A and B are shown apart, each in its own frame.
Chain A
Amino acid sequence: MAYKELIKNFDKIRDYMREFYVYGFKSRDEYNKKSGRSYDDERRRLESWFEDYIGFHQTSDGKNVFISIDSRKTHHNPLYKAWKAKSFTDGDISLHFILFDILYDENISLTAGQITDIADRDYLSEFDGSRTFDESTVRKKLKEYAALGLVTSEKLGKKVLYKRTESLHCHCRDALNFYSEIAPCGVIGSFLLDRTGEQSNIFTFKHHYINQTTDSEILLKAFLAMKNKNEISLTSISRKGRKNLYTHLVPLNVFISVQSGRQYLMVYTRRTKRIKAFRLDYILNIEESDTAKDYEILRETLKKVQKNMWGVSTEGGSGRMEHVRFTIHFDQYEDYIFNRLEREKRCGTVRRIDETTAEFSADVFDSSELVPWIRTFICRITDIYFSNPVLQRQFLSDLNEMYEMYGINDKGGEQT
């Protein structure tokens, strides 16, 4: 099939965008799951959508293509473009503009038959040998638009009348420019900005994980299931690429990390009777099923366990809690270090021991989640204790490995 810039399905491009943006070191041959032709088409699409952000590496294995974006330099997420590349038929686009031109005013109510007649008479007849729309096509499109909320239908006897939905009176330009970047499913705000033409360059964003947008459709399904208090079944892909189906899950909350770029769907699993986290970027699909009658109770359960969650790990079933404690030293003029501890402590407790020493402690389900954060205090840690002995050994052995890696010798000096 000939190459087309637009796509029918988002799933494949979602994979490629992640590969090109997050990783960006694979050569054409390494995309071995897909055919070479498929790779060439997807690469060409990404080059067309993100032309200002595409880079190349020439290696012995061939040309590696990557997307590189400094999110602080951009006012609007460039990756949103992928959501604006859905394919359509010639009839779809023609009918779209004709339909809303006929229903140009909110007071115009017409049946599908009337709309079809007007379309043929006033629009299509102007074109030589042009197509006509049959009434069933027009009705199908109207129903599709009614489901999207673009038109409303009203039954009058045997007739069904359609009219365009009322417009909004919206004064929110600055808010739209801000929230379209930082709110969940922000791409929806970008759609609104496109139509109003109110994009402005007044905001930039630091620590901005723009790749999270690739999971917007999954996030939307999760929000809708939560709104309906429904159970879901979910298909996710493991790190090794295996597809797994999970059923009888109750979606409780979306946990978003602004430090790692990850988003998780927190669910209660009926089978194991535990709360579990699913990475959104590993979820392929979500489908709603039965109503969860105990929805509010389960949400409360999550709120209770959150008091002992550093990240997304919850109890492993044993109910056992792990304790972690460390002490840091700072100089008298370094109060900002103590402040750092305070503002980053999450569910932990900070105790000031004296003017230059502070202690952090926490009881959590999984103390390994704290390790990366604790390492950010390297050079200040004077004492550390994990109740999990494996982690205690691991932390110290990792430190030793770092000393060795940078040539720091046993006496605390640099190796020559």
Chain B
Amino acid sequence: MIFSEIYGAYYLCVSKILEKAVNGSITDKDIRHIAEKYAFSESLLAIEPALKKQKWTLLQPDGSTPIQHIPTIPPSTLEKMWLKAILLDKRIKLFDVRIDGLDNVEPLFTEDDYTIFDSYSDGDPYNDNHYIKNFRTVLSAVKSHRPLRIGIKNKRGMLNEVSVIPEFLEYSEKDDKFRLITSGTKNNTTVNIGRILYCEPLNGNIPKHNNQKRNLCTVTLALTDERNALERVMLHFSHFEKEAAKIDDLHYIITIHYDSSDETELLIRILSFGAKLKVTSPESFITLIKKRLLLQKQNLSSNKSTAR
């Protein structure tokens, strides 16, 4: 059972309140601060009176508690099974993991139980020792915010050395690849971990260029809800920041905000929906679509066999 109060925000919040109370007493200000941090935006309205009016017999009016130890609960069977399952994952070698106490625990799932059927086949080499070493160096640098010197093989196979400030590691399930998002270089802010030839921590600081901000663009689409297009499109683009408006039962307008570096990918994803999805703005995006359609029309016109 996943949906249980023992995993809930209120239990977590009260646990933190009691932790503070066990170590002395707790003030109203502390309670408010903890509720804001660990629960939802309106939770304080329920948690504070429940504790103060002693509906929950855990806290005295003076902020003391009969609870004597810092509240803890052991992991549930479900949590142990899930942990055991991730220990069997192909990417686990990337991490420094030590978990004792799972010897007699069954994994919740194994690779025989699920299939990711549409990820790309040229994912990162998670069993490669060189890759693992580079990944760990990068991960350590991300955590410590220490600059890195990285040698990368560029698209033409040439060595390119850059000094960067690591910001975070980005993982794409579709690409099955990790990328290091960096600042510190003028142009290149993303480094594919799989392309790293060598990397090492860099002593001292490097100048920070203000280029880590993503360049967000907007595309507006007109959707015709035939052949279940509405459901397919909305789910497909759900991971973007977006807005949708209904025109009538058949027609919708969708606005998607995307990173300019993803424009080509977004363009082909829009094309994949065929005539059910039309770009209505900006004009520059429409031009890109038209260019591809023009070429396509010429390709198939010159090959009569296809037009049969």
Interface residues of A (CB under 8 A from B): 4-6, 10, 21-26, 44, 47-49, 51, 55, 57, 59, 64, 66, 68-72, 75, 81, 83-88, 90, 92-94, 96-98, 100-101, 104, 122-124, 126-128, 130-131, 148-150, 164-172, 174-175, 178-179, 182-185, 187-189, 191-192, 194-195, 200-211, 216-217, 220, 223-224, 226-227, 239, 253-262, 299, 306, 309, 311-312, 329, 336, 339, 342-346, 371-373, 375-376, 378-385, 396, 398-399, 401-403, 405-408, 412-414
Shortest Cβ distance from B23 into chain A, in angstroms? 14
B window 67-115: CB within 8 A of A = 67-69, 71-80, 82-83, 85-86, 89, 91-92, 95-102, 106, 108-109, 112-115
Shortest Cβ distance from A109 into chain B, in angstroms? 15
Hey, which chain A residues are within 8 Å of B57, CB to CB? 94, 98, 123-124, 127, 130-131
Tell me the complex Cα distance, A405–B60, Å: 70
Q: Contact partner of A205 among B67, B71, B170, B291, CB < 8 A?
A: B170
B28 in the interface (beta carbon within 8 A): no
CB-based contact A148/B2 at 8 Å:
no
The residue on A at minimum CB distance from B54 is: A127
Tell me the complex Cα distance, A85–B3, Å: 8
- 26 A-B pairs (CB sep. < 8 Å): A64-B245, A68-B242, A81-B40, A96-B11, A98-B57, A101-B67, A104-B69, A149-B77, A169-B101, A175-B86, A175-B95, A195-B73, A203-B170, A216-B2, A256-B115, A260-B232, A299-B112, A309-B117, A336-B155, A375-B273, A378-B271, A379-B296, A379-B299, A382-B306, A383-B306, A412-B297
Tell me the complex Cα distance, A407–B234, Å: 26
Tell me the complex Cα distance, A64–B78, Å: 38
Q: Which 3 A-B pairs have the closest CB atoms?
A: A149-B77, A379-B292, A401-B275
Among the interface residues A26, A185, A195, which one has the most CB atoms of the partner chain B within 10 A? A195
The stretch of B126-134, B172-180, B203-211 that contacts the partner chain: B172-180
Hey, which chain B residues are within 8 Å of A223, CB to CB? 108-109, 113
CB-based contact B269/A376 at 8 Å:
yes
CB-based contact A149/B296 at 8 Å:
no
CB-based contact A192/B83 at 8 Å:
yes
B153 in the interface (beta carbon within 8 A): no
Tell me the complex Cα distance, A44–B114, Å: 36
Hey, which chain B residues are within 8 Å of A403, CB to CB? 293, 297
Is chain B's interface secondary structure helix, strand, loop, or mixed overall?
Answer: mixed
Tell me the complex Cα distance, A202–B66, Å: 39
CB-based contact B10/A88 at 8 Å:
yes
Tell me the complex Cα distance, A195–B97, Å: 18
B185 in the interface (beta carbon within 8 A): no
Q: Contact partner of B275 among A75, A93, A204, A398, CB < 8 A?
A: A398
The residue on B at minimum CB distance from A409 is: B297
B window 202-259: CB within 8 A of A = 214, 228, 230-232, 234-236, 238-246, 252, 257, 259
Known A194-B12, A204-B169: A183·B86 in contact at CB below 8 Å:
yes
Among the interface residues A22, A122, A187, A378, which one has the most CB atoms of the partner chain B within 10 A? A378
Shortest Cβ distance from B272 into chain A, in angstroms? 4
* Chain B residues with a Cβ closer than 8 Å to the other chain, count: 133
Tell me the complex Cα distance, A257–B119, Å: 8
CB-based contact A375/B274 at 8 Å:
yes
Known A84-B12, A130-B57, A150-B74: A97·B18 in contact at CB below 8 Å:
yes
Q: Contact partner of A253 among B6, B12, B115, B278, CB < 8 A?
A: B115
CB-based contact A261/B69 at 8 Å:
no
Tell me the complex Cα distance, A368–B67, Å: 63
B158 in the interface (beta carbon within 8 A): no
CB-based contact A257/B60 at 8 Å:
no
CB-based contact B293/A406 at 8 Å:
yes
Tell me the complex Cα distance, A22–B252, Å: 14
Known A101-B67, A165-B74, A168-B99: A342·B121 in contact at CB below 8 Å:
yes
Encode B120-142 as 1/0 by CB contact (under 8 A) with A.
Answer: 11100000000000000001001
CB-based contact B72/A254 at 8 Å:
no
CB-based contact A90/B117 at 8 Å:
no
CB-based contact A185/B120 at 8 Å:
no
Tell me the complex Cα distance, A194–B13, Å: 10
B286 in the interface (beta carbon within 8 A): yes
Encode B289-308 as 1/0 by CB contact (under 8 A) with A.
Answer: 11111111111111101110
CB-based contact B72/A100 at 8 Å:
yes
The residue on B at minimum CB distance from A204 is: B170
Tell me the complex Cα distance, A164–B6, Å: 15
Hey, which chain B residues are within 8 Å of A86, CB to CB? 3-5, 7-8
Tell me the complex Cα distance, A226–B108, Å: 10
Known A208-B173, A382-B300, A408-B294: A148·B5 in contact at CB below 8 Å:
no
CB-based contact B82/A188 at 8 Å:
yes
CB-based contact B305/A398 at 8 Å:
no
Known A207-B173, A406-B290: A93·B10 in contact at CB below 8 Å:
yes
CB-based contact A148/B101 at 8 Å:
no
The residue on B at minimum CB distance from A398 is: B274
CB-based contact A260/B236 at 8 Å:
yes
